[in-house]
Amino acid sequence: MKPFTFHNPTRIHFGADQIARLRDEVPAGSKVLLVYGGGSIKRNGAYDQICAALSDCSVTEFAGIEPNPEFETLMKAVTLGREQQIDWIIAAGGGSVIDGGKFIAAAIALDPALDPWLIVGNKIKLERALPLGAVLTLPATGSESNQASVVTRRATQDKMSFKNPLVFPRFAVLDPSFSATLPARQIGNGVVDAFIHTTEQYLTWPAGALIQDRLAEGILQTLIEVGPTALAKPEDETARANVMWAANQALFGLVGLGQPQDWATHAIGHELTALYGMDHAQTLAVTLPPLLRATLADKQAKLAQYGRRVWNLQGDDASVAEQAIVATQDFFERMGVATRLDAYGVDPADAAQKVAEQLTRHGRDKLGEHGKLSPADCARIVAAA
Ligand code: NZQ
Ligand code: ZN
């Protein structure tokens, strides 16, 4: 296990009616910018409850943050926030809205002479950010209690991330009842995204981080256990609550501590979304199986551990590793997330060439836990997707 320092400052309020905590978290008299997406928060009860809990604050709204939030949209919120001299941000929605809230919180506080796009890709040192609170409605990304944000610039097909401790939400409200209105597609997406956040930090090589391995295996087993129920019976409160907590724990910071990490599936996936507009989890579901096959020699020991402990498979390492990849792909299909590019109308040969060009342009040319996956290797993986 490698040395590590761990600190996650986000206070989590989990469960029914925890939205009332907003009243304690946001000081009375604050000038709040409430940011959200296309209106789902008005159908799942979150909007009314947030407005009630913030009745001692002055609230300005910014709606319309789209999935895979766009720089141009977020900059409109930054302009509004500066005009209104906002001093708090509340982001209510899925990962896109919360990621958007992180960018807005950093960009409003940035010297206006600087180009805010420099925040994305960590090309500038942030001195401060406005305080941010998250109200989660879609369990998937873990964004509600991490320091990462992913922003897209559509005109140039750039989907890039930044990480900064200043944008950790001060608090996050995780009330599973807000996820009751999710369509099947987003339930499946959320489970697959959380699953692959876990594998990115776990399916590398044995590194003696025994607690982290068991955490990863517990999260994966829980998602396998409750994911299909959450899909088949959205009214099942236990399934909903455990999916929400599992997705949070997958990217809260604990699983990857002291571990080698991969993240190549995410790097390739972000390019597929930038190129073809596929949902984030769809890009991961098509990429992970061929990536595991292409890197089997390096990952075999961990894949065998995963196959035995998570899927109860038997046999020698090579056989268990192969069976584990098949079981993983089958699980994504059972969650309603197709694992072949042609299911999304994308030609694998076209995608392979374009993804390689994008990865080269973005300097993502040494991917994976060994830093040895080149854009040409990634092209072969995408061609097999
Ligand atoms: O816009 P609204 O109306 O809210 O509708 C959304 C959106 O259309 C809808 N939705 C959300 N909650 C709902 C609901 N519909 C009904 N009932 C509810 N309770 O779901 C749609 C998708 O929302 P989105 O926020 O885009 O999904 P997700 O949470 O999967 O977020 C994806 C984004 O997060 C980034 C992805 O790249 C992508 O841009 N990621 C962020 C990460 C992070 N910050 O750590 C890590 C991830 O790997 C990921 O890259
Ligand atoms: Zn993800």
pLDDT in tens, 343-354: 999 999 999 999
> Which pLDDT value is given to residue 111?
95
d(CA 98, CA 30): 19
CA torsion sign, 160 to 125 to 102 to 81?
negative
H-helix or E-strand spanning residue 173: strand 171-174
Give nearest CA residue, ligand 1 atom 38.
Answer: 68
Instruction: Give phi and psi for 56, each to the nearest 5.
Output: -90, 5
Report how far residue 134's alpha carbon sits from residue 12's, in angstroms, rounded to the nearest whole number.
10
**How far, in whole angstroms, is CA 233 from its chain's centroid?**
24
Ligand 1 site, residue 101, Cβ cutoff 6 A? no
Q: What is the pTM of this model?
A: 0.98
Ligand 2 midpoint to CA 264 (Å): 11
Q: Report how far apart the first and last C-alpha atoms of the chain are (Å, whole number).
A: 33
- How confident is residue 217, by pLDDT bands cut at 50, 70 and 90? very high
Q: What is the pLDDT of residue 67?
A: 98
- Matching residue, tokens 């895979």: 68
Nearest ligand for residue 195 CA: 2
Pocket test for ligand 1, best of 135, 141, 144, 151 (most atoms within 8 A of CB): 141
User: What is the pLDDT, as a whole number, of residue 208?
Assistant: 98
**Mapping DSSP to helix (H, G, I), strand (E, B) and coil, where does residue 296 land?**
helix
For helices 280-294 and 184-200, the axis angle rounded to 10 degrees is 40
Confidence of residue 251 (pLDDT cuts 50, 70, 90): very high
Can you read off the two tokens belonging to residue 365? 């040319």
From the alpha carbon of 96, which atom of ligand 1 is closest? Answer: 25
Residues with CB under 5 A from ligand 2 (ion): 193
Greatest C-alpha distance within the chain = 64
Determine the distance separating the centroid of ligand 2 and the alpha carbon of 315, expressed in angstroms.
31
* Cα gap 306→324, rounded to integer Å: 7
Q: For 300-346, write each residue's pLDDT tens digit.
A: 999 999 999 999 999 999 999 999 999 999 999 999 999 999 999 99
CA of 29 to the centre of ligand 2 (A): 36
Domains and CATH numbers, the chain: 11-178 (3.40.50.1970), 184-383 (1.20.1090.10)
Question: Residue 153 in contact with residue 185, Cβ under 8 Å?
Answer: no
What share of the chain in percent tops pLDDT 90? 100
Question: What atom in ligand 1 is closest to the CA of residue 44?
Answer: 19
**Nearest C-alpha to atom 22 of ligand 1 is from which residue?**
67
- Phi, psi torsion values for 117, nearest 5 degrees: -60, -25
Binding site membership of 38 for ligand 1 (Cβ less than 6 Å):
yes
Structure-block tokens of residue 332: 């994504």
C-alpha distances out from residue 361 to 142, 273, 278, Å: 28, 16, 20
- Spatial distance between the Cα atoms of 152 and 31, rounded to a whole number of angstroms: 27
Ligand 1 touching residue 375 (CB < 6 A): no
Confidence category of residue 233, pLDDT binned at 50, 70, 90: very high
Alpha helix segments (H runs only) across 71-113: 71-83, 95-108
Q: What 3-state DSSP class applies to 70?
A: strand
What is the side-by-side order of every strand in the sheet holding 171-174? 11-14, 171-174, 132-136, 88-93, 31-36, 58-62
pLDDT given at position 45 = 94
User: Which ligand 1 atom is the nearest neighbour of the CA of 67?
Assistant: 26
Partners of residue 132 on adjacent β-strands:
89
CA distance 255 to 222: 15
Q: Are 92 and 135 in contact (CB under 8 A)?
A: yes
Ligand 1 pocket check for 191: Cβ under 6 Å: no
- Which residues does 214 contact at the CB level (< 8 Å), separation at least 6? none
Q: Distance from the CA of 190 to the center of ligand 2, in angstroms?
A: 9
User: Residues 51-88: pLDDT tens digits?
Assistant: 999 999 999 999 999 999 999 999 999 999 999 999 99
Q: Please give the pLDDT value at position 235.
A: 93
pLDDT-based confidence at 28, cuts 50/70/90?
very high
Q: Which atom, in ligand 1's list, is nearest to the CA of 138? A: 12
Supply the residue whose CA is at minimum distance from atom 15 of ligand 1.
182
| 83: Cβ contacts below 8 Å, ≥ 6 apart | none
109-121 pLDDT tens trace: 999 999 999 999 8
Calculate how far, in angstroms, residue 309's C-alpha sits from the geometric centre of ligand 1.
30
Residue 12 parent element (H or E) = strand 11-14
Predicted confidence (pLDDT) per residue in 155-187, tens digit: 999 999 999 999 999 999 999 999 999 999 999
Q: Determine the Cα–Cα distance for residues 213 and 58; give it in Å rounded to an integer.
A: 46
* Ligand 2 centroid, distance to 58 Cα (angstroms): 34
Return d(Cα 114, Cα 249) in angstroms, integer: 35
Report whether residue 35 contacts ligand 1, using a CB cutoff of 6 Å: no
Angstrom CA distances, 189 to 219, 303, 337, 345, stand at 16, 23, 7, 18
Residue-wise pLDDT for 132-148, tens only, equals 999 999 999 999 999 99
Asked whether 146 lines ligand 1 (CB < 6 A), one says: yes
97 lines ligand 1 (CB under 6 A): yes
Cβ(191)–Cβ(335) below 8 Å: yes
